[in-house]
Amino acid sequence: MRNPKNTARSLFAVGCALSILILHAGCDGKDQETAAHHPAPAAADAHDHPTASTHTPATGGAIIAGVTFTPPVAWEDLGPEGMRQAQYRSGPVEGDGAPAEVNVFNFGPASGGGVDANLQRWIGQMTLPDGADPLAAATRSEFTADGMAGHVISLDGSYKSGGMRPMGGGGELMAGYRLVGVVLEGPQGGVFFKLTGPKASAAAMEGDLLAMVKGARK
């Protein structure tokens, strides 16, 4: 017959062992739950931290050849096409049969032959009813935008539409038109803005064009 005291000691030892096992299991479960609710931080996404060289224009703005400008929200953005790096349309105003357009070009550091050559080419696309010299009749002015020299030339007359030619000219002759050419001498070559359209529609777009280029930045 077993000694009652020995039996009691055995039961007490077994109970202590079970208590230790239960306590250890509970601690492990708590640690696992904590880990589940607090995962390790994910690696940072490179796209969340752009490099210092990344340059984002203002909302609705555009950058061409290092020149940043913001077209008016009222202009319809037609997007780039061929040699035209940007195209915008507005109108027509009441009484005009077609809208006015601004086309933007850049030809690199050589500027497609230079500022004067392109301004003369544009004015050469206009004819006057009295046969006068368009270049002599054109109005020309200069301005500065963020240290960039700017040139403006304008003339009313009959315009030779360009068809598929990048800078225009050589197409249908359209009477009652206005042409405004603007060149900004940017850090990566000239940026050329060419406004054409029926006289009233072009005049309505002209003020916004001049404000846009005079507010351009490099």
- Are residues 95 and 16 both part of a single domain? no
User: Do residues 179 and 167 lie in contact, with contact meaning Cβ atoms separated by under 8 Å?
Assistant: no
- For residue 32, the Cα-to-chain-centroid distance in whole angstroms is 50
Instruction: Let me know if residue 41 belongs to a domain.
Output: no
Distance CA 121, CA 210 (A): 20
Task: Check residue 22 and give its pLDDT.
Answer: 36
Residue 198 lies in a domain: yes
Task: Identify the pLDDT of residue 60.
Answer: 66
Same domain, 129 and 28: no
Is 18 contained in some domain?
yes
For residue 119, being part of any structural domain is answered with yes
Comparing C-alpha atoms, which of 77, 124, 90 is closest to residue 195? 90
- Are 24 and 126 in a shared domain? no
The pLDDT value given to residue 34: 34
Both 24 and 91 in one domain: the answer is no
Range of the domain at 74: 62-214
Domain total in the chain: 2
Residues 1 and 73 in one domain: no
Residue 201 identity (one-letter amino acid): S
The verdict on residue 44 lying in a domain is no
The pLDDT assigned to 57 comes to: 52
In a domain, 84, yes or no: yes
- Amino acid 205: pLDDT: 98
- Please tell me whether residues 116 and 199 are part of one structural domain: yes
Domain identity same for 26 and 101:
no
Indicate whether 107 and 185 sit together in one domain: yes
Are 145 and 71 in a shared domain? yes
The reply to whether 81 and 3 lie within a common domain is no
Supply the pTM of this predicted model. Answer: 0.70
Average pLDDT per block of 10 residues along the chain, 218 residues long: 46 42 40 38 32 40 95 96 95 94 90 81 94 95 98 97 51 93 95 97 98 97
Same domain, 177 and 131: yes
CATH of the domain at 187: 3.40.1000
Give 42-87 as a DSSP string. PPPPGGGS--TT---PPTT-EEETTEEE---TTSEE---BTTBSEE
Q: Which residue has the tokens 């739950």?
A: 33
| Separation of alpha carbons 133 and 124, rounded Å | 9
Note the pLDDT of residue 41: 36
Question: What's the pLDDT score for residue 23?
Answer: 36
Looking at the fold, whether 27 and 92 belong to one and the same domain comes out as no
